Amino acid sequence: MAINFTSMDSILTAVKAIMRLQTAGSATTVPIPLILVGGKQRSGLSATAIASKIISRKSDAGIPVGPLPSGGVSPDELMERIRVEEIIKAIQEDAVIQVAIPPGQTIAAAGASVAGPVSVVGSTTIYIGGTAIMS
């Protein structure tokens, strides 16, 4: 794509194209302190909120939303909520999160021996794996 630097439309189109670029095949990493602080600020998954967003976006696709002509709740909207509830339930109850901890993590330990108290400072030397659940 050639950019015509004398045309504002061409420059804006190029800037928009740059903004749409994603990292090429690499996962985005979140800094650990941000995870520690920000993780507790998240509200968690809400089937009602997700279903409401999906239902409100149906009008973007030209699908009618809202109550039926009789005034009843649309079965499609009820099914959307049930669908989202089941997806969230499956994620929370069945998903397995695998974690890998690289070598070099600092460790500190304390204990006692016949000679008295013992304290140790060191680092891990092997990769350690673990699992987690999503709540």
Long-range contact set of residues 16-21: C-beta below 8 Å, sequence gap at least 24:
none
CA–CA dist 107, 129 (Å, integer): 16
Q: Is 100 helix (H, G, I), strand (E, B) or coil?
A: strand
Q: What is the pLDDT of residues 13-62, one digit of tens each?
A: 877 777 666 555 666 677 777 877 887 788 888 899 999 999 989 888 88
Token pair recorded at residue 27: 């996962």
Q: What is the pLDDT of residues 76-108, one digit of tens each?
A: 899 999 999 999 999 988 988 888 888 999 999
Give residue limits of the domains in the chain: 31-94, 96-135
Tell which wins on pLDDT, 84 or 5.
84
pLDDT of amino acid 26: 63
CA–CA dist 46, 23 (Å, integer): 29
64, 71, 104 from 43: Cα distances, Å: 30, 33, 33
Residue 59 contacts residue 76 (beta carbons within 8 Å) = no
Question: pTM of the entire structure?
Answer: 0.56
